Chains A and B, each alone.
Chain A
Amino acid sequence: MREVSDYSAADEPRLVDGAKSGDMQSFEELVSRYRDKVYARAYSIMRNEDLAVDLSQNAWVKAWQRRAQFHGDASFATWLNRIVTNLCLDELRRQKRLRTDSIEEIEEATGPVENRMEIQDVDPIAKLNQKELRERIDDAMDKLSDSHRTVLVLYEYEQLEYKEIADQMDTSIGTVMSRLFYARKKLAALLGEALKREGLIE
């Protein structure tokens, strides 16, 4: 590929092959196509703009350094998201934000606040447009603990299985199931509270 327009029109396998053989312009085009997605994944876990930018850039650097290890078993975007997710988990561990003996785990064992909340039949889709709904869900995600939110992101957005999440987070499948359960219940409760405050549900 010689012309600039060739890169923007090239299909992904061609760009990946180019990058693997050391063509920096192919790699730059891949960055251009996926930078928002990689940044969004980092932000969804870290909830900090600057950290998310830095970690997503580091993910691209690692992707370049390890490009020979990409064999196309998953899509390039999935491979990249795994790299940025691992970097985010490392950063959370470094900041000690993924606690293993936290109050929230004691609560999970004994029965947390969410357990005492009545189960609400929340039907926000009928009340809000998509943008408003996204904002409410994002606000609720913001209020979850790092470990609860990370499990939710890995399961729902990255579509990892329980065992894969347990491996990535260095924990047991039981802990993953428990965190996922309480994360969902808390999120539903937070969303219900927000809609109640706004008078959208009774």
Chain B
Amino acid sequence: MKENEIELKIQALVDGELTESEAEQMRECMDNDVRLQILYAQLIQTKDLISKYEMPRVLPESGDFYWAKIAQEIGTGEPANQGSNNSLVIKWLFRRLAPLLGIATIVLLITLQQPSMPDLGIEIKSDHELLSDGIEVMTFNSVDDSVSIVWLDYSMDIQKDYMELWLD
């Protein structure tokens, strides 16, 4: 037997694909050959790893979506045109763009539902100051930049009074 044939026979022994007499013959071959013993051990280990550690996978799409296509094809009796490059590209685009389109729609709806500024009859110019007892409020508003900034300035005395009130 050639070396390559012996290796394949060793593999068949590992896989349980030899008859009893062939298996006995191979075991005798191995008894006198350390290299074959190592090969036998390596094949058993590799076989063990592959069969025990298959990566578990789940469908990348919802069960309902998956079933809908099956039900549709069963209903029409027309099997899918498997492997069509155009349909694969379209499906690939649809599967990836559908979630993005969904998110974009939600963002658009939220934006449209944002409450508009209440009309208080006050036209805020770019810069003005309101004064109250002990608290200084100043706002800056720029329509062009769509920016409003509010400064609050109050003395430590007010803060102290407020803290005491809160502690009471």
Q: How many residues of A contact B (CB 8 A)?
A: 56
Q: Is the CB of B66 within 8 A of A133?
A: no
- CB neighbors of B among A150-183 (8 A): 152, 155-157, 161-162, 174, 177-178, 180-181
Kindly state whether residue B49 has any CB partner on chain A within 8 Å.
yes
Binary contact track B39-55/A, C-beta < 8 Å → 1, others 0:
10011011101110111
User: Which residues from chain B contact A121 at a C-beta distance below 8 Å?
Assistant: 42
Q: Is the CB of B11 within 8 A of A39?
A: no
User: Which residues from chain B contact A174 at a C-beta distance below 8 Å?
Assistant: 8
Binary contact track B67-84/A, C-beta < 8 Å → 1, others 0:
101110110000110110
User: Which residues from chain A contact B73 at a C-beta distance below 8 Å?
Assistant: 57, 61
User: Considering the chains assembled together, what is the distance between the CA atoms of A39 and B60 in angstroms?
Assistant: 9
User: Considering the chains assembled together, what is the distance between the CA atoms of A185 and B8 in angstroms?
Assistant: 12
24 contacts between A and B (CB under 8 A): A31-B67, A31-B70, A35-B67, A36-B57, A39-B59, A40-B54, A40-B57, A44-B57, A49-B60, A53-B61, A61-B74, A61-B80, A64-B74, A65-B79, A119-B39, A125-B49, A133-B53, A137-B50, A137-B55, A155-B15, A162-B12, A184-B43, A187-B46, A187-B50
User: Which residues from chain B contact A24 at a C-beta distance below 8 Å?
Assistant: 71, 74
Q: Which residue of A lies closest to B9 (CB)?
A: A177
Query: A137-B49, A191-B49 known; 5 other A-B pairs, CB under 8 Å?
Result: A28-B71, A43-B57, A49-B60, A61-B70, A184-B47
Q: Is the CB of B54 within 8 A of A134?
A: yes
Q: Is the interface of B mostly helix, strand, loop or mixed?
A: helix
User: Which residues from chain B contact A91 at a C-beta distance below 8 Å?
Assistant: 82-83
Whole-angstrom distance from the CB of B49 to the nearest CB of chain A?
6
Q: Which residue of B lies closest to A39 (CB)?
A: B59
Q: Is the CB of A61 within 8 A of B79?
A: yes
User: Considering the chains assembled together, what is the distance between the CA atoms of A137 and B70 in angstroms?
Assistant: 32
Whole-angstrom distance from the CB of B147 to the nearest CB of chain A?
46
Whole-angstrom distance from the CB of A57 to the nearest CB of chain B?
5
